[in-house]
């Protein structure tokens, strides 16, 4: 069985968290659920380098959260995991992202997919068929600054986890070849179909010969800070090791990875990076992604503003 870099510390962190007073008890969780949910809105501003094929220079994307455009649904917030994942992918791949075929699972507000398209990747933002129209409405109505060239690289497809149609996604996403990388942020929650996600992710990686990079954070869906079962994320990742003997690499995310050390993004006021983990899942024989030769080439800049 391949060694999983960082999995043991991850398991220990989650095991310790299960005994922490920060996690809610049955009574406190129930009380939390009875409290009205806060609906603070934010404006997210991202700037980054444009590919030479787009004329070079830089781009600036602005996403203002607004349920009037997308309706009130679980994906109408930008969470820290998406920002951490974007920073990690840009740092790892840089300008080699140009032409990379990337599929995002559970896109929600598609700031991650839109930013990757702006960086030059061919991107397909997927979400459940019941909400994919809202995902596309968010891209069309909430994201400002996406150029026509970047928009042409961004596709949308409805996809229900656990379905038998994962092999059709490259065609539905209008990719010219197999998927190069699967990404996703904040996919593992209490009450979400974790088994279906495991099945879909396994099928996608096997069928396309690629790897996946996920940003996972122990929050209880949709707003509070902790999972009722803190081992859920660790258990999800461990299945790829034990049931498939795949390689899993994990990295704990700190403030420097978000680039926003003075800001708190979580609605409960906890630091944005609390418990956030980047996990890369690598099946045997998967294609090695083209890593950039100059780490940190180009700069991503992020700013968040509170909206009334």
CATH fold label, 7-20+41-292+299-304:
Rossmann fold (3.40.50)
| CB distance 229 to 299 below 8 Å | no
pLDDT digits (tens, 9 = 90+) for 244-278: 999 999 988 765 555 544 444 444 455 667 778 99
d(CA 183, CA 100): 12
Each domain of the chain, given as residue ranges in start order, spans 7-20+41-292+299-304
pLDDT digits (tens, 9 = 90+) for 97-149: 999 999 999 999 999 999 999 999 999 999 999 999 999 999 999 999 999 99
Question: Six-digit token pair at 273?
Answer: 């990076």
d(CA 103, CA 178): 10
Q: pLDDT confidence of 39, banded at 50, 70, 90?
A: low
d(CA 169, CA 132): 14
């Amino acid at each position: 069985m391949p060694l999983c870099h960082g999995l043991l510390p991850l398991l220990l962190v989650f095991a310790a968290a299960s005994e922490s007073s920060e996690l809610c008890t049955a009574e406190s969780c129930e009380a939390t659920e009875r409290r009205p949910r806060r609906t603070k809105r934010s404006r997210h501003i991202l700037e980054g380098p444009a590919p030479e094929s787009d004329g070079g220079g830089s781009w600036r994307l602005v996403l203002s959260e607004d349920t009037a455009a997308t309706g009130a649904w679980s994906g109408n917030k930008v969470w820290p995991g998406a920002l951490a994942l974007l920073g990690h992918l840009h740092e790892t791949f840089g300008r080699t992202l140009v032409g990379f075929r990337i599929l995002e699972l559970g896109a929600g507000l598609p700031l991650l997919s839109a930013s990757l398209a702006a960086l030059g990747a061919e991107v397909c933002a997927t979400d459940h068929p019941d909400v994919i129209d809202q995902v596309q409405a968010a891209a069309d109505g909430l994201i400002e600054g996406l150029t026509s060239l970047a928009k042409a690289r961004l596709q949308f497809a409805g996809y229900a986890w656990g379905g038998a149609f994962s092999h059709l996604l490259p065609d539905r996403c209008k990719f010219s070849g197999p998927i190069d990388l699967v990404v996703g942020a904040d996919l593992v929650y209490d009450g979400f179909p974790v088994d279906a996600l495991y099945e879909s992710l396994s099928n996608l990686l096997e069928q396309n010969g690629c790897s996946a990079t996920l940003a996972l954070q122990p929050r209880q869906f949709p707003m509070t800070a902790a999972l009722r079962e803190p081992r859920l994320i660790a258990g999800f990742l461990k299945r790829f090791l034990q049931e498939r003997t795949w390689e899993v690499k994990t990295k704990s995310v700190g403030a420097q990875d978000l680039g926003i050390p003075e800001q708190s993004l979580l609605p409960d006021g906890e630091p944005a990076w609390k418990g956030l983990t980047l996990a890369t899942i690598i099946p045997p024989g998967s294609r090695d992604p083209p890593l950039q030769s100059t780490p940190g080439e180009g700069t991503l800049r992020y700013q968040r503003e509170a909206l009334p």
